[in-house]
Amino acid sequence: MATGRPGRHFRKTSPEAVPRNPLSGPGSLLRAGPLRLFLLGLVALALAGCGAKTPAPPPGGWSKAPATQRPYTIKGKTYHPIPSADGYVEEGVASWYGRDFHGKPTSCGEIYDMHKLTAAHKILPMHTTLKVTNLDNGRSVTVRVNDRGPFVSGRVIDMSFAGAKALDMHVKGTTRVRLESVGGIPGATSARDLPGPFYVQIGAFVNERNAQRLLTVIKRAGYHNSRIHSKDVGGERFFRVHAGTFATLSEAERARSRLSGEYRDAFVIGE
């Protein structure tokens, strides 16, 4: 793809793993799966659809900004790249891409080399250096962002084949990871106060009645804008209970901390 384009729309990787937790707790409610992510990337940002404040354009307007720093829209969602990776931390699901894209241009114009330690991210500045840790086995690797993606729901980073192999996730296809910026881009504010709305996922069910029960409980606890969000995964529909809403990521993380006492695998998500 040409320089400045947002990146690939789809990737050929293993399907997202969806945990099946045993029933537990009052009323046999299914606790949230072990994906303790905060989907900062996805949050940031379908701004047109969620009414959040759109980031102000840089001096001179968006036309003066580097092509990879301009807002872009994929499948109806608009993403606003952030100006800096300073202090950036994120947890979620990683996937990887390889031979199908080897030798083709990335979003920043470089030629993708599956054997180099690079990665794709939806909103981080190009050439951001990230430490990526596999939360399932503790392995870590440092990669450089040179592409946009992944645009598969629930994933926060697409690793090169070399990066995936370093994390020992190249056979499985996906794994839970933590992203931590190494250094940053000068002049950035922290990504922690990106505009929302944000939610905290506290449960996932295959039985809609169980989801409705938990929704009633969480609304009575004062989270009046909570909701049920359904999604088909692997041919099966899951009903996810989202406590909310929260105006910024910081607010959502504080709520997650409170809720994690009762819902230990609670995690933050965004629109």
**CA-CA distances (angstroms) from residue 213 to 133, 208, 224, 228, 255?**
36, 9, 14, 11, 20
How confident is the model at residue 18, as a pLDDT? 31
- Tell whether the model's pLDDT for residue 49 goes beyond 90: no
Residue-wise pLDDT for 188-222, tens only, equals 444 455 556 788 989 989 999 999 999 999 999 99
> Residue holding tokens 């996805």?
42
Residues whose CB falls within 8 Å of the CB of residue 251, separated by 6 or more in sequence, listed in order = 196, 198
Is the peptide bond between 117 and the residue preceding it cis, with omega within 30 degrees of 0?
no
CB 251 within 8 A of CB 235: no
pLDDT digits (tens, 9 = 90+) for 161-188: 999 999 999 999 999 999 998 875 443 4
Helices (H), the chain: 40-43, 47-50, 161-166, 208-220, 249-259
Q: Which of 175, 183, 202 is nearest to 257 (CA)?
A: 202
